[in-house]
């Protein structure tokens, strides 16, 4: 759905919004603008904003994370539970994002020397918050699973295998540091770090309620089997 909405929005924006002539019209209409939501208007954008992205790099980055971590969480929750979990994580992300703006120093919201836009009026879009919830579930359920990452030693690429708890833990720490610097420093960065933090924490909180214990048991058995050393001799 994320990919389809983006493609249709770019190629035929009028199909999503009658009269729209560009993708930016879609973002303005269906993106989550905090000032409206706090005022009780355009509440539907809490949902629609989760399926919009600011560009192809934004879309592909989110879909990569969803592809890597999402299937395992879906497997232990079931399709319908996973879908509801995904959406609720996105809602949690929106709440944290709005609260983070409310906590910013008022004088910083329109400080053109630091920020060119008022975050209350900027449409927030992206699946990042919901996918952060998936990461929260993953670190709870599969902390020892290995994640293959590419890094660089100078100009030379290196392939590393690290535990999911380490990879996701560093990811969360990075979001937290930048989120705190944004809020405490009163600078709108253009990236909703607190939406990522909020989605992650919401996912952790909801995981025990949505996981299917029998499906989880079977998944753990499969993981133990495929990690046996004798399979590789």
Q: What is the pLDDT of residues 189-212, one digit of tens each?
A: 678 999 999 999 999 999 999 999
pLDDT, tens digit, 9 for 90 and up, residues 3-26: 999 999 999 999 999 999 999 999
- Name the more confident of 192 and 111: 192
Answer whether 213's CB lies under 8 Å from 141's CB.
no
Mean pLDDT (the chain) is 89
DSSP classification of residue 108: G
Q: What is the pLDDT of residue 184?
A: 73
Q: What is the pLDDT of residue 174?
A: 95
pLDDT, tens digit, 9 for 90 and up, residues 51-107: 999 999 999 999 999 999 999 999 999 999 999 999 999 999 999 999 998 888 766
Answer whether 139's CB lies under 8 Å from 146's CB.
no
Cα dist. 13→6, 20, 74, 159 in Å? 9, 6, 31, 40
Q: What is the pLDDT of residue 152?
A: 79
pTM over 0.75: yes
């Amino acid at each position: 759905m994320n990919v389809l909405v983006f493609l249709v929005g770019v190629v035929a924006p009028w199909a999503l919004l009658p009269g729209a002539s560009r993708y930016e019209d879609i973002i303005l209409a269906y993106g989550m603008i905090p000032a409206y939501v706090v005022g009780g208007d355009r509440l539907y954008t809490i949902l629609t904003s989760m399926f919009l992205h600011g560009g192809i790099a934004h879309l592909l980055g989110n879909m990569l994370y969803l592809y890597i971590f999402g299937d395992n969480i879906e497997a232990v929750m079931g399709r319908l539970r996973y879908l509801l979990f995904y959406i609720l994580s996105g809602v949690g992300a929106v709440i944290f994002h709005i609260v983070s703006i409310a906590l910013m120093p008022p004088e910083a919201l329109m400080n053109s020397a630091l920020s060119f836009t008022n975050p209350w009026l900027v449409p927030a879009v992206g699946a990042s918050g919901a996918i952060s919830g998936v990461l929260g579930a993953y670190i709870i359920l599969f902390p020892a699973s290995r994640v293959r990452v590419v890094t660089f030693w100078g100009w030379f690429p290196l392939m590393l295998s690290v535990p999911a708890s380490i990879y996701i833990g560093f990811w969360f720490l990075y979001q937290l540091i930048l989120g705190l610097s944004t809020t405490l420093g009163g600078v709108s960065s253009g990236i909703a770090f607190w939406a990522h933090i909020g989605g992650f924490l919401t996912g952790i909180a909801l995981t025990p309620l949505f996981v299917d214990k029998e499906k989880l048991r079977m998944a753990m058995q499969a993981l133990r089997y495929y990690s046996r050393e004798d399979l590789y001799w």
